[in-house]
Structure 1
Amino acid sequence: MTDWSEIVLRLGVATFAGGLVGLDRDLRGMPIGLKTLGLVSLSTAAVILLAMQAAEPGQFTDAASRVAQGVLTGIGFLGAGVIVRQGDRFRVRGLTSAACVFFAACIGTACGAGHWPIVITALVFALLLLTCGNSVERWLHRTLGGKDDTGD
């Protein structure tokens, strides 16, 4: 049985990590933000934590694996809700926000399981991509001569 301090730590870090990714979406005016991604991460961590309560300490059981599979499959519906096709052209917006929904669910899963090195590493990489990705993409397009179609 996981003690209260560990439960608060896992759920708190999941909420913070998802919210941090959501803050990026909020600051860019995207249709999904801090509250939504914080809740996605928190809820995913909660169900993983619940599934792991029946297992031996430190083990990711078959039951927890099935819960993770179900959550990650179902989260696609929420992600699909932020993808929008613009106008008559074949321009789709919101894919990064949809990927952030999936990431928030994954980071919540890792928090619920208590895999802190994965949480920290994935969060750092995600925040680097979200903050520097457009600049790097534009530079690569200019340098390599590709079409500059950076957006969400």
Structure 2
Amino acid sequence: MNALPRVGDTADERVFGPMTTEMFVRYSGASGDLNPMHYDRDFAEKAGYPSVFSQGMHSAALLSTFAGDWLGAERLRRFHVRFRDIVWPGDVLTCSGEVTDVALTESGHRVVVSLALTRQTGAAAILGTAEFDVDA
């Protein structure tokens, strides 16, 4: 990053997917989240869901990857998300971000961004914010 971000700057969107059950299974193994709702279709259907679905933290990991790639993972100081909608197999997810605040600090600048992970339906699966320490 060469220039200090400004309020209103946006990141290039990033698309993940389509999501697959295999992705959910791999995340289950990597994270230790072995809830069968995420990989056992019969179990999920018996619980009233139409199929398996993504772990919320899997979706949050995609959004944090996007944010870190945008402004530098090493600069990330805070990351906060709110889960809004379920991510299903076949979903195509789009990450977007916008700078909402830039403030001078003792060590440089604190850049605050709003983030969204949106399903192809237009529904936000996750909304969030992140803060980065950035030197100009």
TM-score, normalising length from structure 2? Answer: 0.30
Higher RCO (CA 8 Å, separation ≥ 6 residues): 2
Higher strand content, 1 or 2: 2
TM-score, normalising length from structure 1? Answer: 0.28
